Amino acid sequence: RAGDLLLLSFDQTGSISPLLTGPSTEHNAEISPNGRWIAYQSNESGRHEIYVRPFPRVSDGRWQISSGGGSHPVWARSGHELFYISAAGLVSVPVQIGRPFEFGNASVVLKGASERYWVATVGRSYDVAPDGQRFLMLKEEQQAAARIHVVQNWTEELKQRVPTR
């Protein structure tokens, strides 16, 4: 079913098994750098929010990270921050990815990110630099309609410009 999280095995079987399924939609999942946690967005509360669960034993706990909406979680490579997009902008939450999982207060690090940069519905449209201090974001440019040039009989012109032996 679309909107569920599935686990693909990279062994010889290539088996696919359900990870998170149910009536709500879960997507944009990201596994923490140490492989112990999975962050994802879900609309189980009625709007998209960011959640973290143990990985791969997702039934062992659940923490709601965002409040007021959130999408597109991305872990800092250090594992000490979790970023996501909200209506206010790009948000950072300090986290401890040991056992137990702990997280702090959210803070906006880039205001208006969802208005100024392109945010895909599903999939990544930004990433965090290895040092956690910079971001790579896709920016949608507002441009005039593109012109289309149709060239007919181009093979004849090619023959004239590049003679064959």
Residue-level pLDDT at 72? 93
Query: CB-based contacts of 62: which residues, under 8 Å, 6+ apart?
Result: 51, 52, 53
Instruction: With cut-offs at 50, 70 and 90, classify the pLDDT of residue 165.
Output: low
- Cα dihedral 87, 1, 32, 125 sign: negative
The residue among 56 and 113 whose pLDDT is bigger is: 56
Instruction: With cut-offs at 50, 70 and 90, classify the pLDDT of residue 106.
Output: very high
